[in-house]
Amino acid sequence: MTYSNHYASLRTTAILPLLALLLAGTGLLTGCQSNEPDDSFWVSRLRVESRLEPVVTDLTQPRFSWEIRSDERDINQTYYQLLVASNQDVIEADSADVWDSGRIKSDVSIQLPYEGPALKSRTTYYWKVKVWCKGKGFSVSPYMSWHTGLMQDTDWKAEWIGLDSVFAWEDTSKFSRLSARYLRRTVELPEPPEHARLYMVGLGLYQLYVNGLRVGGHVVAPAPTDFTQEVKYTTFELAPYLKQGTNVIGVVLGNGRFFNMRQHHKPWKVRTFGFPKLLFQMELGYEDGSSDYILSDTSWRVTADGPIRSNNEFDGEEYDATKELTGWLAPDYDDSAWLPVQVTSDPGANRRYFADSLPQKNEPKTPHGDLTLKQARRKAQLNEDMKVVLSRRPVAFLNKRPGAFILDMGQNMAGWLRIQVNGEKGRTVTLRFAESLNPDSTLYMDNLREAKVTDTYTLKGVGEELWEPAFVYHGFRYVEVLNWPGEPHIYQFLGQVVSDGFNTTGSFSSSNKLLDQLYSNAWWSVLGNYKGMPVDCPQRDERQPWLGDRIAGSWGESYLFDNQRLYAKWLDDIQQAMSQEGQISDVSPNYYNYYTDNVTWPATYFLVAQMLYRQYGDVYAVRKHYPSMKKWMQYMESKYLKDGLMTRDKYGDWCMPPESPELIHAKDPARLTDGTLIATAYYIKLLQVMQEFATLLGNNADKTAFAALAEKMTGAFQSRFYDKEAKQYGNNTVTANLLPLAFNLVPEADKQAVFDAICRVIEVDNKGHIASGVVGTAWLMRTLSSYGRPDLAYKLATNTTYPSWGYMIKKGATTIWELWNGDTANPWMNSQNHVMLLGDLLSWYYEHLAGIKSDPSTPAFKQIIMRPDFPDGLTFVKSYYYSSYGLIVSEWMREGFKLTWNVVVPHNTEAFVYIPAPKGQVYEGDTKADRAKGVSFVRTEGDRSVFKVKSGSYVFKVSQ
Ligand code: RAM
């Protein structure tokens, strides 16, 4: 059982009857605040620091959230009281011996921080919440517990162990081959312990075994960081695995990003951290109150002479089953041929800056992070572990020859292939992975650059052998299988889809098949590029956490997956990668050395923080990162602001459709948007975001300063780039006009004209096709819809001619390409599984097609704006989004003038519902809408009647 990474959703239906039962009482439904229990509503889905449960956290102020449920309408919290206790008896009696918040008048039911006395390490706390709702009594939730990790450095007794040397068969040159390290020790226990809590870090990657059983449902763990600054520990409760007598603990260590295969290749560019190592601290407690530790220390033994002969993320895994260490997880195994482990240095001691290894290239010296750190911080991993989230069988065998064939998985995916094979000892089966095929049905490998993406399995020859790799993953749709014994069968192959183990937050389907297929492509790309950090692609020799790929992405992705914890972790990665001067690394964690001082890639730092606040109500991320954000703003201002313009850019409107099909980047000046225009517009946007943050944190002085600079820069921007006559910006590209419009830099009176210029470039010059790259497309779809051209947005989303998302689909894509012309461009930079060209498409699906959007002034969907575009040609949308407050549903169907719209508004929130009909024609159920319980008419806005809708379920109808 793992704590911090174990994923158990409280959304199970099982909990609801239990809650109803617990809370059944004499409900007093009076009109005033009552202090009697009420069974018309109940509290469920308690969360500590978001949705992971049970949870281990080493945060000093974990945050609590809960959800209110009821079958009635219009349920609103008026007070809450949080109770935290040190044991079950106290909490069951509805009391608190650790912290009682007292009765607090508030309608907030998410992200409320613990404010009691300092929490102790390695302790279980119990909590519940008492909630009062308007016009009703109160309801008490069931209780939930959380566990604290090791909160202080001094809590750690274990030492790092490993083996800092290579074996004769290993190779540390460019295409390094390092075998997995197998570590073991036996443990004598006088009796089974009552608890055995393990805190561990296995670098780069680990698998844990106790008494022969694999522990935990995670794969490719832990989450990657700048290991010299911070490592993520995982907590397990191992008591159920342990017994009286001799127990065996085994750990397998893989390389991951820690021992990087490219280490001697480009030392000025790619970081490496050292040989794999383990930190292991198990704390045992017995019934009689005694305790004991089992630690990583010199009592462990190690070998690299096991079956995983080589493993790295880019080249693949080599597994030789004839070298299996049979019995190594049993007590009587003879490990005398193994070596004693070495106590190794802390990963933080290996701290070096790119500059230290730069003799070969003239790159700037870029010391980064906290230079005072003596050792890497050890932090509980709060973001979800990676898991096998889906499995799928191949759909076809292709190109079959004797012993060789290609498997088609039917979907471009990230993960690996599990095989079941029966053959003679010593035969080696080879698996090679690719996203697509050449015309002659061989694998298309040209776009993988130097990644070898090859797994090999050498059979031991004992009948059915089941194998899958431990420490690699690939991005692929096709697998070439070589040297397969006998006739292959589909059941012998299973594609394992590997991603962060998130909760799904949303779903979308519609009457348009292409729109749905595009959603599916996007979903697979988003899923495939979560790897404990958001990466650019899962297949070639890159797979880096580039910031710019998520300018708008994190927002749209939040409608698909509960990505709050991952992105909160990523902000920490970005902060840790910052240089002393205040530079942001374009790649964070900075496994690549790219400190290029542009504005657009670093902008993601700010926009992700804004997403966490607006979508999840996470003000803490904003508070934590505000000083670093401000530092970067000042750094850029002091270095690159000239005459009110931000003069530094690097990537332009990255991956704009080029003028000829084989180009990666456009060269035609008419297609390129001026770098100073982009950088200045984005910098002003960030000044706006900083004003929002400063307001949130009550920092008026900063707010005023940011506003003043924004005003000055907007003036400079206008005079430098705006053509008042033509009413267009720069060289009149979509992006040149779109950025000022989306960032509100255009004079009010000219907005429509500038918008018309955008539409003209798209409709006339580009014949109704997309004409922007990563930097512009981030704002495109929502701007087209908001300024009154949802039809044009819909056209762009459903186009099938080049360039368009639909074109990718027509060419057989099942994910999103890196380039609009991915089918014809140079393979050097041409992944078939990238998210960045999605821009704001996913947000547009939810906010403009489903019509589910959080009011910007009330974060986390406390107030919901439900305003679908209802574009012509689309007859229905079915969608839901599971917000922090609860489930939001929007399902609409149109037939001529008739509209039926099912709406669910979570309790303790309200929605503004925009219906395209005069007020008198709108019904809710069989009642005129404005007379229905929970509904009130607010105003008419254009062709829409706006109703305020209280929490509950509704069926709106319009018929003529
Ligand atoms: C490439 C990747 C990535 C992009 C950078 C700038 O390496 O495609 O997505 O952000 O370039």
Atom of ligand 1 nearest to the CA of 549: 10
The pLDDT assigned to 960 comes to 66
Atom of ligand 1 nearest to the CA of 829: 8
Please give the distance of CA 272 from its chain centroid, rounded to a whole number: 24
Ligand 1 centroid, distance to 543 Cα (angstroms): 9
Question: Residues in the chain with pLDDT < 70?
Answer: 1-34, 49-55, 261-265, 350-367, 960
The pLDDT assigned to 18 comes to 25
Ligand 1 centroid, distance to 705 Cα (angstroms): 34
The residue to mutate among 546, 775, 820, having the most atoms of ligand 1 within 8 angstroms of its beta carbon, is 546
Ligand 1 centroid, distance to 500 Cα (angstroms): 21
Ligand 1 centroid, distance to 759 Cα (angstroms): 28
The residue to mutate among 544, 678, 820, having the most atoms of ligand 1 within 8 angstroms of its beta carbon, is 544
Ligand 1 centroid, distance to 546 Cα (angstroms): 6
Give the residue, by CA position, lying nearest to ligand 1 atom 4: 546
DSSP for 333-350, written as a single string: ---TTSEEPEE---GGGG
Residue with tokens 């061989």: 442
How many C-beta atoms lie closer than 10 Å to residue 786's C-beta? 18
Ligand 1 centroid, distance to 204 Cα (angstroms): 24
Q: Which residue ranges have their beta carbon within 6 Å of ligand 1?
A: 536, 542, 546, 548-549, 651, 818, 829, 834, 836
Ligand 1 centroid, distance to 507 Cα (angstroms): 29
Ligand 1 centroid, distance to 773 Cα (angstroms): 12
Atom of ligand 1 nearest to the CA of 654: 6
Give the residue, by CA position, lying nearest to ligand 1 atom 9: 536
Give the residue, by CA position, lying nearest to ligand 1 atom 10: 546
Q: In sequence order, which residues have a C-beta less than 8 Å from that of residue 459 and are 6 or more positions away?
A: 321, 322, 421, 423, 424, 425, 426, 427, 428, 429, 465, 485
Atom of ligand 1 nearest to the CA of 655: 8
Query: Which letter does DSSP use for residue 388 in this model?
Result: E
Ligand 1 centroid, distance to 832 Cα (angstroms): 13
Ligand 1 centroid, distance to 542 Cα (angstroms): 9
The residue to mutate among 270, 450, 525, 549, having the most atoms of ligand 1 within 8 angstroms of its beta carbon, is 549
Ligand 1 centroid, distance to 109 Cα (angstroms): 40
Atom of ligand 1 nearest to the CA of 601: 10
Q: For residues 3 and 234, give the distance between their C-alpha atoms in angstroms, rounded to a whole number.
A: 8
Q: In sequence order, which residues have a C-beta less than 8 Å from that of residue 526 and are 6 or more positions away?
A: 553, 557, 560, 561, 835, 838, 842
Q: For 32, list phi and psi in degrees, rounded to 5.
A: -110, 170
Ligand 1 centroid, distance to 187 Cα (angstroms): 48
Ligand 1 centroid, distance to 938 Cα (angstroms): 47
The residue to mutate among 269, 829, 830, 833, having the most atoms of ligand 1 within 8 angstroms of its beta carbon, is 829
Give the residue, by CA position, lying nearest to ligand 1 atom 2: 536
Are 98 and 124 in contact by the 8 Å Cβ rule? The answer is no
Q: For residues 227 and 563, give the distance between their C-alpha atoms in angstroms, rounded to a whole number.
A: 22
The pLDDT assigned to 51 comes to 40
Q: For 952, list phi and psi in degrees, rounded to 5.
A: 135, -175
Q: How far is CA 536 from CA 89, 362, 433, in A?
A: 49, 26, 18
Are 415 and 524 in contact by the 8 Å Cβ rule? The answer is no
Ligand 1 centroid, distance to 776 Cα (angstroms): 16
The residue to mutate among 584, 599, 654, having the most atoms of ligand 1 within 8 angstroms of its beta carbon, is 654
Atom of ligand 1 nearest to the CA of 537: 9
Atom of ligand 1 nearest to the CA of 548: 10
The pLDDT assigned to 6 comes to 27
Instruction: Give the largest Cα separation in the chain, rounded.
Output: 88
Give the residue, by CA position, lying nearest to ligand 1 atom 1: 829
Ligand 1 centroid, distance to 526 Cα (angstroms): 16
Residue with tokens 């089992």: 294
Query: Which letter does DSSP use for residue 295 in this model?
Result: E
Ligand 1 centroid, distance to 536 Cα (angstroms): 7
Ligand 1 centroid, distance to 449 Cα (angstroms): 14
At what angle are helices 734-742 and 700-721 packed, to 10 degrees?
150
Query: What are 472's two structure tokens?
Result: 């690699």
Give the residue, by CA position, lying nearest to ligand 1 atom 5: 546
Atom of ligand 1 nearest to the CA of 547: 10
The residue to mutate among 533, 536, 650, having the most atoms of ligand 1 within 8 angstroms of its beta carbon, is 536
Atom of ligand 1 nearest to the CA of 818: 8
The residue to mutate among 266, 540, 542, 653, having the most atoms of ligand 1 within 8 angstroms of its beta carbon, is 542
Q: For 354, list phi and psi in degrees, rounded to 5.
A: -55, -35
Strands 213-214 and 205-210, by their bridges, are: antiparallel
Question: Which has the closest alpha carbon to 956: 932, 915, 928, 923?
Answer: 923
DSSP for 757-816, written as a single string: HHHHIIIIITTT-----HHHHHHHHHHHHHTT-HHHHHHHHH--SSSSHHHHHHTT-SS-
Q: For residues 115 and 793, give the distance between their C-alpha atoms in angstroms, rounded to a whole number.
A: 47
The pLDDT assigned to 144 comes to 92
Ligand 1 centroid, distance to 101 Cα (angstroms): 48
Question: Which has the closest alpha carbon to 776: 838, 862, 716, 833?
Answer: 838
Atom of ligand 1 nearest to the CA of 836: 9
The pLDDT assigned to 928 comes to 97
Query: What are 656's two structure tokens?
Result: 């704009």
